[in-house]
């Protein structure tokens, strides 16, 4: 397993790994944890929460955003996402990217799958033409 280059990135990923253990994924068996870093250094976690009515499921990334916004935070610069069951390079879904774009023009996106494969990208790389009003 390769580690991320900065201590902050490593700590953020470790927080996402710990959060993934609290995910509620009885249907997919695909738990995901996220750790969202604010521009002033606070960290908010989120997990995927599934529902028997699948469309009502929320992803870990959006769960973290909701937690941060509920605490009054709306300026983000990084998010770490961990899925222990993932075997391929992990990326946030389109809905999560668009929600992140609501609060940041660009940010670092760190991901790690269960095999320890890390990926570092940016919001601009993954969603170059985000919808903005």
Residues annotated as catalytic are 61
β-pairing, 76-83 vs 118-122, is: unpaired
Longest Cα–Cα distance in the chain = 41
CB 57 within 8 A of CB 23: no
Handedness of CA 5, 123, 54, 57 (dihedral sign): positive
CA distance 95 to 74: 17
Please state whether beta strands 33-38 and 118-122 pair in parallel, antiparallel, or not at all (unpaired): unpaired
Report yes or no: 32 and 39 within 8 Å, Cβ to Cβ.
Answer: no
- Encoded tokens for 68: 């941060």
């Amino acid at each position: 397993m390769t580690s991320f280059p900065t201590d902050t990135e490593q700590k953020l990923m470790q927080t996402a790994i710990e959060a993934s253990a609290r995910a509620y994924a009885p249907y997919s068996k695909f738990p995901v944890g996220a750790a969202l870093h604010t521009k002033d250094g606070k960290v908010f976690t989120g997990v995927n929460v599934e529902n028997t009515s699948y469309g009502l499921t929320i992803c870990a990334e959006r769960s973290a955003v909701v937690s941060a916004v509920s605490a009054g935070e709306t300026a983000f610069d990084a998010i770490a996402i961990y899925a222990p069951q993932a075997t391929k390079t992990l990326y946030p879904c389109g809905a999560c990217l668009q929600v992140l774009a609501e609060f940041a023009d660009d940010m670092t996106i760190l991901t790690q799958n269960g095999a320890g494969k890390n990926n570092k990208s940016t919001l601009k790389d993954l969603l170059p033409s985000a919808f903005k009003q």
